Amino acid sequence: MSDQFDVIVMGAGIAGMYQIYKLRELGLSVRAYETGTGVGGTWYWNNYPGCRFDSESYTYGYSWSDEVLKEWTWTERFAPQTETNKYLNFVADKFNLRDNIQFNSRVTKAVFDEAHSKWKIELEDGSTAQATFLISATGPLSAYRLPNIEGIESFQGEWCHTARYPKEGLANKNDFSGKRVGVIGTGATGVQFIQEAAKTADELYVFQLAPEWCAPLKNGPIDNKEMNEIRANYKQIFAECNATFGGFQHKFDERSIFDVTDEEREATFEKLYDEPGFGIWLGNFADIMTNLDANKLLSEFIARKIRGRVNDPVLAEKLIPKNHGFGTRRVPLETKYFECYNQDNVHLIDLTETPIKQVTPTGVQCSDKAYDLDVIVYATGFDAVTGALNRIDIAGKGGQKLIDKWADGPRTLLGMQTVGFPNLFTLVGPHNGATFCNIPRCIEQNVEWVTDLIAYMHRENLHQIEPTLEAEDAWTVHVDETAQHTLFPTADSWFMGVNVNNPTKKRTFMLYAGGAPTYKAKCDEVAEKGYEGFVLS
C-alpha cells in the first residue's frame, strides 16, 4: 500500500518550501520528496567557492512572513551561498517544514491513474506514494550536465561539476595553493568560481568555448543601520520588485536610446556600470533588449570596458563576445573577473582555436598540447528548464510521456499545466513568468496562484483540472510571439533551450518574455474568469 496525500511536491528548494507552507495552511496533507539531504535546492547543491546571489539579498528573501523579515539579517548586498543556505534552513526550522519533507528521495516515475484521478509516484528505492495533485518544484537549473568529452571519469585528480561540489571542498578546503586547477565553462557559475580560485591556485587554466558579457557585481557589506532601513522599507521594496519586468528593483528606462544625446547615453552607461547588480542590463534603456542597433551601442561600451581592464589586447579580444549582443544571454556579474587574466597564474585556453580532445588520467588534452592538472571543475551548466522534469518518467493520460509531448518544445498554459497531464502543476516551469525573474518574487506568485486554485477546487468539490488544447495552443503561440519582440532568439543560450552537450534538444524559447507584471496579470485574469482555458471536473 503506498502512502497517500492530497498533494505531492517534487523538490524542497525555494518553491517547494513555500508550497508546503501554503498547502498546510489549507489543511491539506502534503509530502515533498527531495533528492538532497537538506532544504534549499540550488542553494543546497551549488556550494562551490564564489557562489553567491546576483540578486540584491533583501529582494531575494521570502516576503510572506513578517517574522522572518524582522528576524533575518542579510550581511552582504549579494549574499554568499553559505548565508542563503543558512537563511533557507532558518525558514525551514521556523515553520517545521521538514515534517513534510522526505529527504534522500529522488522521484523517478510519476504516472496518472485515470480511473482514480490520482498521481502515483515512484522513488529511486522503489517505494511509492499517491496524491490528487502533483506539483513540480524541481527548479529550472537543477539537472546539471557534464560535457560530452571523452575520458572524464579517467582523470585521477579531484574533479566535479559545480552543482555537485563536495561539501568538504576540493584541494585543502578550497585553498588551491600548490595546485594546478582547470575550469571548463565560463557562464555565470564559471565566472564566480574562476575569480575565487584565481586567488589561491598555483596555476588556473580556463578552458573557454565562448566568452560571456560580464558586468561588475559591486558587492558590499550591509551594516546594522542599513539592515534596519531595509526592514523598515520591505513593503516598498517588494512592491517595487513586483512592478518591474524582472522582479528586481532595477527598472528599464522607457526612453529610447536614440532619444538621448551621445553624451547622455555614455553617462547613463557609465553610471549603471558603476552601480551594484543588474542595473546595466535591466535598468538600461529598454530598447537594448529589442533593437539590434541599440544593443550594439551597449555591447560596444562593455567591450571598451573589457579592453580597459585586461592588459593584453589579444587576450582582451578573446574575452569579448563576438556572436551575440549584451544581455541576450544571462549576464554573469563579476568581481575583478577580467583582472584575473592580468595575473601570471591565470591562463585562458580558447577552445575555438584548440578544442579539447579528451580528458586523460593526468589532465586535459587539447588539439595542440596537454595540460597537467590536479583539479578539474566543470562549470558546464544545466539541461535547463525542462531537464529536471525530463529526468523523471512522467506519464499522463493514455500513457503519454511528458518528454515525448515536449520533444519539439514545451506546450503549456501559463507555464503551469499541459494538456494530457491533469492535476500536474509545473512551478517555475517552461513558459512560466517565474522562470525569467528574480526567482523568489515570482515563485511566490506561482505558489499562491496554484494554492488558490486548489482551494477553489476544494470549495467547489472539483477533483480534476487540465487545460483545453485551444488555450494551450494560444499560450504557446503567445510565448513565442512575445520572445520574437525581443533579441533573445538572436543568441544560442539556455533561454533558447540550447546546450552544446544536448544537441538534440529543440531550439525554442523556454521562458516567458512578457515580464513579471504582465504574466501575473494574465494568471489573475484567468482565475477571475473561473479558470478560463482550463477544464475542471
Closer residue to ligand NA7 (CB): 30 or 331? 331
CB of 169 to ligand NA7, least distance (A): 18
Judge whether 129 and 5 are in contact, CB under 8 Å: yes
Q: Which residues bind ligand NA7 (CB under 6 A)?
A: 141, 147-149, 184-190, 207, 209-210, 330, 351, 379-382, 494, 500-501
What are 382's three cell numbers?
Answer: 544545466
CB of 478 to ligand NA7, least distance (A): 24
CB of 351 to ligand NA7, least distance (A): 6
CB of 323 to ligand NA7, least distance (A): 9
Those residues with Cβ within 8 angstroms of residue 270's Cβ, 6 or more apart along the chain or in another chain = none
Q: 3-class SS at 144?
A: strand
Distance CA(57)–CA(43), nearest Å, equals 13
CB of 380 to ligand NA7, least distance (A): 4
Distance CA(186)–CA(329), nearest Å, equals 12
Judge whether 531 and 465 are in contact, CB under 8 Å: yes
Closer residue to ligand NA7 (CB): 20 or 141? 141
- Per the listing, cell 503549456 goes with 412
Judge whether 324 and 182 are in contact, CB under 8 Å: no
Q: What angle do the packed helices 14-25 and 439-459 form, to 10 degrees?
A: 30
What are 319's three cell numbers?
Answer: 574575452
Closer residue to ligand NA7 (CB): 239 or 500? 500
Distance CA(445)–CA(451), nearest Å, equals 10
Euclidean distance between the first and final Cα of the chain, in Å? 27
CB of 226 to ligand NA7, least distance (A): 26
Closer residue to ligand NA7 (CB): 212 or 466? 212
Closer residue to ligand NA7 (CB): 195 or 423? 195
Closer residue to ligand NA7 (CB): 15 or 188? 188
Closer residue to ligand NA7 (CB): 119 or 371? 371
CB of 488 to ligand NA7, least distance (A): 13
CA 188-84-133 angle, 5° bins: 90
Those residues with Cβ within 8 angstroms of residue 240's Cβ, 6 or more apart along the chain or in another chain = 249, 251
